[in-house]
Chain A
Amino acid sequence: MVDSLYNESNADLLNIEIKLLMEGVFLRYGYDFRNYSKAHIKRRVLHRLGISTLSSVSRLQDLVLRDREFFIEFLDDLSINVTEMFRDPEFFKSLREKIIPKLKTYPYFKIWVAGCSTGEEVYSLSILLKEEGLLERCQIYATDFSRKVLEIAKEGVYQKNIIEQFETNYRLSGGKGKLSDYYKSRYGSVIFEKELTNKIVFADHNLVTDTVFADVNLILCRNVLIYFEKSLQDKVIGLFCESLVPSGILCLGTKESIKFSMYEKLFEIIDEKSRIFKKRIG
């Protein structure tokens, strides 16, 4: 196992090898993990090593650089795709109460769900917009750098055994009906209504290496920035700031903040606890 390969005596070597691996991944494939949280990357790399027969990160690097299929698998290791519907119900409640009334004043608006992963959050948003009579008036862009998760998101099929948690979250978030109004059960799965995806464009976009998105009115990017080092967080918040229209809304995860970012002054706080911010005018 891993602990026999790396320990306190070669901790520095491990750090060097991981650094080279990330550099290699960037040069070879364009995915940039160089400014991701190092402890997180180390954990994921050691996990991959632990379930393989490879004897070092350098050997792993050899495989990653030469075998694209293996790289795609490795990419999965580096990204976190654990999410839920209506995660942090208080946030969705706040969104419904504080932001939706404002969106109702627009004839048409655009939303960007950045780092949408397997789609649970964007379906939650669609349901909320439908209940508020706004789904027809919007365009939603749901983006992620992983094509694999985008495929899952497009399908809208989830395991039945987790739906109970989603139901609870939905209820706590101020949902107006039952979550089961929006899906059909089939065997061990639930399938969400296709209607919910009518206004969603799923697209491959990398927050670290790609550029700004079209003028959007609302951005949801929750539990993505926590994986970034400070400098990269700043860069991405800048990207959001540029992508938003004046008075546009930015929603971050409940443990993420624009506090101490160089863009802090360009936003005002709408809901401190739920991390909802508004871009200032001018």
Chain B
Amino acid sequence: MYKAIVIGTSYGGPDALKIILPRLSIGFPVPVIIVLHIGDHSNEVFIDYMNSICPLEVKEAESNEKIREGFIYFAPPNYHLLIESDFTFSLTTDQKHNFSRPSIDILFESAAWAYSQSLIGVVLTGANSDGAAGLKMIRDFGGMAIIQNPCSAISPAMPRAALKIARPEVRLRLEEIPDKLIELVGFNKKNSEMF
């Protein structure tokens, strides 16, 4: 079964995430870990806003923090975010990758090592090719690769690059992505309400 979802996006990302993340409800059984290229400044305001519209708790990933299911984590601006094999976070100030820090590839590759085939990778709207190599690795490791259909993306370059390099099995319009994620992780709202 899938144990984690990683998402990468840049230009148009905040709007795309506003459509996906609020649809994940309490009891969602896996963590959602996100790299959003948002510039070098604090993303506190954005995280506060996401918290106000999401049922799940949204927070910035911290160094050595244990990854918990049902949480939505964002990489801090100006740091790369990596996942350790004991399912904790690491941060680095290593060089920019694809002109980006945080880099989607770096998150995705470390996530593939940690979660192997139990991982879902999602590449959304964006203006460069970061995430394509990472998504390919997720797929090579037996995980599930999803992209936002480039035709429906505000900026199609990123999902298009991912399409070309990773050959993902699933291409969806933005609005279809939440239901797909819910289905893949086997989240049944009725079940969770019984608890």
Q: Footprint of B on A, CB under 8 Å?
A: 3, 7-8, 11, 15, 37-40, 42-43, 80, 82-83, 223, 225-227, 229-230, 233, 253, 255-257
Contacts and interface: CB of A to CB of B under 8 A. Distances in A.
B192 interface: no
A230 B92 contact: no
Interface of B: 62-64, 76, 79, 82-85, 90-95, 106, 109-110, 112-114, 116-117, 137, 140-142
The 9 A-B residue pairs with the shortest CB-CB distance, nearest first, are A39-B82, A37-B90, A8-B141, A39-B110, A8-B116, A226-B91, A223-B93, A226-B63, A39-B84
29 contacts: A7-B140, A8-B116, A8-B140, A8-B141, A8-B142, A38-B85, A39-B82, A39-B84, A39-B90, A39-B114, A40-B82, A40-B92, A40-B94, A42-B110, A42-B113, A43-B94, A43-B109, A43-B110, A80-B92, A80-B93, A82-B94, A83-B93, A223-B93, A226-B92, A227-B90, A233-B64, A255-B79, A255-B91, A256-B63
A230 B110 CA distance: 19
B93 A8 contact: no
Given A38-B85, A39-B82, A227 B92 contact: yes
A95 B101 CA distance: 26
A97 to B, nearest CB: 19
Contacts of A229: 64
Contacts of A40: 82, 90, 92, 94
Nearest to B86: A38
Residue among B83, B85, B93, B110 facing the most chain A CB atoms (10 A cut-off)? B93
A251 to B, nearest CB: 16
B106 A43 contact: yes
B118 to A, nearest CB: 10
A52 B106 CA distance: 20
Contacts of A233: 64
A22 to B, nearest CB: 15
A235 to B, nearest CB: 14
A256 B91 CA distance: 10
Nearest to B137: A3
Given A226-B63, A255-B63, A3 B90 contact: no
Contacts of B79: 226, 255
Nearest to A11: B113
Nearest to B85: A38
A255 B142 contact: no
A42 B114 CA distance: 12
B113 A3 contact: no
B84 A38 contact: yes
Given A43-B94, A80-B94, 16 more contacts: A3-B137, A7-B140, A8-B117, A15-B85, A39-B83, A40-B82, A40-B90, A42-B110, A43-B110, A80-B93, A223-B93, A226-B63, A226-B79, A226-B90, A230-B64, A255-B79
